[in-house]
Structures are given as structure tokens and as C-alpha cells.
A and B are shown apart, each in its own frame.
Chain A
Amino acid sequence: MPQYYDLGVRFWEDGLEKYANSLGFKSICSFSKEGDGIEIRAQKLEDLKLGTPGKIILLSSQNPELLKKACRRDVDMLLFGRFLPDVGLVRVAAENKKPFEIPISVLLERKGAERALLMSRISFFLKICNKYRADFILTSGATNKFFMKSPPELVAIGEVLGLSHDQAVKSISIIPEYILER
């Protein structure tokens, strides 16, 4: 029985860990002031001021060149918000074993055609990740309790995005565990 982790919570409140445990997660990582993670939203190279020991560093950028440079630095996860199929970026991430975060909240915040087109982009991005063996992590990206999803729900969404059952399970269990151990 794998143990599940949600490494992409974007808020913090009292009893959140207990709530996550009741959903089926062993542990979560919150990118908030009280949490164990730091989210760096980089727009230019000078923003890459890293190096906070003991914290999980997520680099979020719309610029693939910046993310490529970050791959060679001390970053734990990458978030490419546009989910464009940049083969160069995916290959560099795969070589440096830096996983991409896929937050489900981006789908929850959209409706109709916008959501459908984003699902199509994420689906193709995941296909490229699988082709070049880059890692990815499905996270809730939750900004409130209602956006938090249980592991079976994340697996179901992963399968809808074109992953196999095993790939979806791996992306919320083995890969996050590896990041936490690092």
C-alpha cells in the first residue's frame, strides 16, 4: 500500500495536517509562511536567490529558459504555468531529476472551454514528460480546504489527463517521497 503526499498546498490553517490525514495523505507540504515549502515566482535570472536549507523549494516561472537554468541549481520542484510542450526544458529537467508540479487547482479555477483547453495542454505536457522520462507530481495546489483532493480523486484526474493508473499513483507517492527524503 503506497503512502501518499500532497506537496502543493498553498495555504495554512490550524488542523490542516489532520484534515489531510483524514483524506488519506501521510504528509503535506504547504507553500505558505507557516509551511515547509518556499515558492519562488521568478521572472528574471536575479530572482533565483535560492538556498534555504530544510525547506522544499518550488520554482514557478512562465519562462522556460529560466526554468532550464534553475534545473542546474538547488531547486526541488518546477512549475511551468503555461504547460507548453517545451522539449528542451523537459529534457533538462529529466537529466537533473527535477520534477514538474501539476497543480489540479488550475483546472478547478476554470470552467468550460478554458478548462478543456488547459486539460489538453497539460495532457500533452505529461505525454512529453513520459516520453523523455521527466518526473512530475500531481498536487492539489489548494488555496482552501474545498480545493484539497483525496489521493483516489487525484489518481482519477491523472487518468483523465492521460496517465496510466500506475503513473498517477507514482506521481503522488514515490516521487514526492523521494523529494522529501532529499
Chain B
Amino acid sequence: MVVPTLRKKKRYVHIKFECPCNISENEAQAELYGALLSFLGELGFSRANPKLVEFNSGSKSGILKCSNTEIQNVKAALALVSRVKGENGCIRILKVSGIISKLKE
């Protein structure tokens, strides 16, 4: 257990896939990690420490957790996605918060 003062601060990003195709949780995770890895590189990816916390394939939306110091880079990486599963599409950032419950409201 890490003491609270040593715990890394995080941000939760509410994302939504806008694409004509259906997308499962595994596919969404692969798309997100692929986009972040190609834009940030391995070092940037490790600093951003992203994790798909939850995903709803019906609404194609989910919550991505990442480091709060790298939030702008993560937002830029997701904004530069122009294709999803090989088709035209994008990832919209709906809201960013430090508390996951705020995104579920």
C-alpha cells in the first residue's frame, strides 16, 4: 500500500467513439493504446500510464484513466485519431475529471 502523498495523481477522461462500425471493449482498448503508443512513443506511454477503466459498447463510450501531468498529451493523441477499425471515425473527449463519479453523472 502506497501512502497517499506518494500516490500518483490521475485524471479520468470520458471518451466516445464516433464511427459507423460497432466496437467491443477489446477493440476499443486496442484502438486507444495504438493511438497513444504511436503518438507518445513508449516513453510517453509509460509516463501517461493509460488504462481503460470501463467501456460501454452500446453507446461506444468509456472512461480512460491516465496521469494528470500527461493529460494534454493524451488529449492531443486521441484528437489526432482519424480512423477507427480502418474506417473514417474519431474519438471525442467529452469530459475530464479527477473523480470517476463526476463522469458518471
Contact surface of A with B, Cβ cutoff 8 Å: 104, 107-109, 111-112, 115, 144-147, 149-150, 152-154, 156-157, 159-160
Contacts and interface: CB of A to CB of B under 8 A. Distances in A.
B60 interface: no
Interface stretch (B21-29, B84-92, B97-105): B84-92
B82 A160 contact: no
Contact of A159 (B72, B88, B96): B72
A107 B80 CA distance: 7
Contacts of B79: 104, 149, 153-154, 156-157
Nearest to A165: B72
A150 B79 CA distance: 9
A160 B77 CA distance: 9
A115 B41 CA distance: 14
Interface residues of B, number: 17
A24 to B, nearest CB: 11
Nearest to A115: B80
Contacts of A157: 76, 79-80
B49 interface: no
Contacts of B78: 153
Q: Which of B80, B89, B90, B96 is packed against the most chain A CB atoms within 10 Å?
A: B80
A147 B82 contact: yes
Contacts of B80: 104, 107-108, 115, 157
A92 to B, nearest CB: 31
A115 B96 CA distance: 26
A112 to B, nearest CB: 7
B76 A147 contact: no
B82 A108 contact: yes
A153 B72 contact: no
B82 A153 contact: no
Contacts of A159: 72, 76
A109 B72 contact: no
Contacts of A107: 80
Given A109-B82, A147-B82, A149-B79, A160 B72 contact: yes
A146 B72 contact: no
B76 A146 contact: no
Contacts of A111: 38
